[in-house]
Chain A
Amino acid sequence: MSDTPTLLYCRCAYAQVVPSGVKNAVLQQLCDSGASFETVSDLCEMTAHRDPRLQELARCGRLRIAACYPRAVTGLFQQAGAPLPEGTEILNMRSLTAEEITRQMLRTEDLAMTAEPA
């Protein structure tokens, strides 16, 4: 476990409820940064099948998640038997702008950003 947060992006690929402009821009900015990050195709799908990778993610210690409503994301992890660790930050791509999301996701005070890929 580490103090550096794990960044997680949910694509919400199984339904078009997250505005595509926002989710594309967030993914682009994560890709353009030098950060390591996790992405999943759809958190709901993983919860539906109690995917054990949700437990792996919840075990990361600290998480910063770009997905949808915090109540929904918290409920999804809990329902999958992988309650989120305390202090998890959830950024809502259904209500915030891509700029706000990426600014929070890539806050550098606790991310050790050493690489700047092309």
Chain B
Amino acid sequence: MITHTARPLKVVLYEGKGAIPLPAEARLKVMTALLDKGYAVARVTTSGSQTSAPQDDHTLLLLGSFPERQAPALEDVTGRIQIEARDITDLDAESIVALVDKTRGQKPMNEPGKWKPWFPVIDYSRCTNCMQCLSFCLFDVYGVSEENKIQVQNNDNCKTNCPACSRVCPEVAIMFPKYQAGPINGDEVSATDHGREKMKVDISSLLGGDIYSALKDRSAAAKSRFSKERSPDKALDERKKCLTKLVSDGFIPMDVLASLPSPDEILRKSEIAKARAAAALAAQPGAQPAN
């Protein structure tokens, strides 16, 4: 899990006034090498399209081919950003990456290949705030905002390659941009995708995420039947069965099953998640009291 939030410096490949444009091949090579290492790079020419200037205190490293191989000394007028400039005439892409790494120094940085940003992204234009995802996820990825709106709060807790919660969202509102297939990858949602809702609701009720019936279950008789049907052992068993099916159907990877917490912990977590979801639902404007 990645816990730090450090950002590597921003690199500018400067080909504007006072610099000599790089040969086309060298330009592509250096851009590619820096991006594949994990850096953000802006290419600046004399053209009018815009680039974004950093607003915080991270370092801006300006690379260019300058007359007499002399990089200019630069200072930010606001005094907030540290600007360093380096001449890269005749340096190959590898040496330029080494130079950028050296300027970054000891500051930590994430790198492609060592970690995969895998976490749910909510399409709020579809989400109805039903809280099924919050009840379902056993890894505390979801939470609610101060306005009781569903939020992805602990994205680093999400299990890589597990898109399970997107299968239980009745509105097809949960995306994983690094997933291969649509609509989970963010592709448009078709009527057929939305039609799979039935299956999803069945799954989520199997998993104990049946918030609506829990809230609507007003009569004592129904309540006692509900508690019998959903005895802890049975609920746990059903949850396991359902997860195993999701694995065999290729929806979630095997190692997600392997990393599940202990049975006691699963029950405890799902109770907490259900209670949080129920509280958030009850706090929504227009919600009926549960009893």
B5 at the interface (CB under 8 A from A): yes
Is there an interface contact between B121 and A6, defined as CB atoms closer than 8 Å?
Answer: no
For A, the interface residue count at a CB cutoff of 8 angstroms equals: 62
A59 at the interface (CB under 8 A from B): yes
Chain A, range 26-82, C-beta contacts under 8 Å to B? 27-28, 30-32, 34-45, 47-53, 55-57, 59-62, 68-76, 78-79
B144 at the interface (CB under 8 A from A): no
B127 CB, min distance to chain A CBs, angstroms: 10
Measured between beta carbons, the chain A residues less than 8 angstroms from B219 are none
Is there an interface contact between B50 and A35, defined as CB atoms closer than 8 Å?
Answer: no
For B, the interface residue count at a CB cutoff of 8 angstroms equals: 59
A51 CB, min distance to chain B CBs, angstroms: 6
Measured between beta carbons, the chain A residues less than 8 angstroms from B155 are 48
Give the docked Cα–Cα distance between A112 and B45 (Å): 11
Q: A52's closest neighbor in chain B, by CB?
A: B56
Give the docked Cα–Cα distance between A68 and B48 (Å): 25
Is there an interface contact between B43 and A24, defined as CB atoms closer than 8 Å?
Answer: no
Contact code string B8-46 (vs A, CB < 8 Å = 1, else 0): 001000010000011110011001100111111111111
Give the docked Cα–Cα distance between A2 and B10 (Å): 22
Give the docked Cα–Cα distance between A36 and B35 (Å): 16
Most central of B44, B49, B113, B116 by chain A CB within 10 Å? B49
Measured between beta carbons, the chain B residues less than 8 angstroms from A49 are 2, 5, 7, 110
Is there an interface contact between B47 and A113, defined as CB atoms closer than 8 Å?
Answer: yes
Measured between beta carbons, the chain B residues less than 8 angstroms from A88 are none
B24 CB, min distance to chain A CBs, angstroms: 6
Contact code string B188-200 (vs A, CB < 8 Å = 1, else 0): 1000000000000
Q: Nearest 4 CB-CB pairs, A to B?
A: A112-B48, A72-B186, A69-B186, A117-B21
